[in-house]
Structure 1
Amino acid sequence: MEKPAPLKGKFSIFSSRAAGRPIRCLVGDDVATYGLSKAEFMEKVQQSNEACQRGDFEAAVHLYSEALRADPQNCILYSNRSAALLKMGQHQVALEDAEKACELNPKWPKNDVSSRRR
C-alpha cells in the first residue's frame, strides 16, 4: 500500500489526543491571495480548533469559514466545520460541508464509509 504524501501536521476535533499537536492543513502558496498570510491562516485554524475543544462551536464555525475563504479547497476545514455544525444541530448544513469534503478529496480516510458498520 502506497503511503500518502507527508502533510504539515494532523488534527481532528474528535480526538482529545490532538490537543497541542500541529494542525493538519493542505495550505497552498496562494493563501495570501485571499487576504491572509500563511501565518494568519494557520492562526485562524488553530483558533477554530481550540474553539471546538472548548465547546464553542459557533465561534469555531465562524473561524473555519474565515479560513475556508482563504483556502476553499481544504477538505479538512470543511470536515471540521461540518462536525462543529453537527454539534450545533445544523444537520443540513453539516451534511453539505461533509459532502463538499468528500468531493474535494474522495480518498481521504474519513470519507471511506464502505469500511464502517451500520
Structure 2
Amino acid sequence: MDKPAASRDKLSIFGPQMLGGVECCEADGPGFSKADFMEKVRQSNDACQQGKFSIAVRLYSDALLADPQNFIIYSNRSAAHLKLGQYQAALKDADKAQHLNPKWPKTAMTEHRVEM
C-alpha cells in the first residue's frame, strides 16, 4: 500500500522526490502546525521554481522557525541564496546543513571549497 504523499515527498527546490525515511518536521515551532510548515515549504519550492528566490529565502526562513534542525531546508535556502548571488549566506546555510547531516550529498562540496 502506498504511503501518504506528504510522507514520501522530499522538500526540494527541484520539486517532490523520495525523502528516504527522513522526517521533514520533527517539532512544531511557535505558531506553526505541521500543516503550516509543509505549506511554507511548498510555497518556498514553488517560488524557487518560478525564479522568485528572494521570496523563497524568506519562506524557507519562516519554515526554519518551525524546524531549525531541518538540514533539507538549510540546503534549499542555500541554493536560493546562491541564485541571488548571496555567496556568504549560501555557504553559511550549506555549512549548517552539512553540520546537521554530514552525509547529505548536496552539501558535500562545502568540504572542498576554495577560499577567496
Moved over 6 A (4+): none
Which residues of 2 match residues 36-115 of structure 1 at below 5 A?
36-113=32-109
One-letter amino acid matched to 2:60 = Y
Gap change, CA 1:74 and 1:47, over 3 Å in 2: same
Gap change, CA 1:111 and 1:22, over 3 Å in 2: closer
TM-score by length of 1: 0.76
One-letter amino acid matched to 2:90 = A
One-letter amino acid matched to 2:9 = G
One-letter amino acid matched to 2:70 = N
Cα RMSD for the two superposed structures: 2.3
Aligned partner of 1:26 in structure 2 is 24
Unaligned runs of 5+ in 1: 1-6
Aligned partner of 1:9 in structure 2 is 9
Share of identical aligned residues, percent? 57
Gap change, CA 1:11 and 1:26, over 3 Å in 2: closer
Instruction: Judge conservation of contact 1:82–1:94 (CA < 8 Å) in 2.
Output: yes
Unaligned runs of 5+ in 2: 1-6
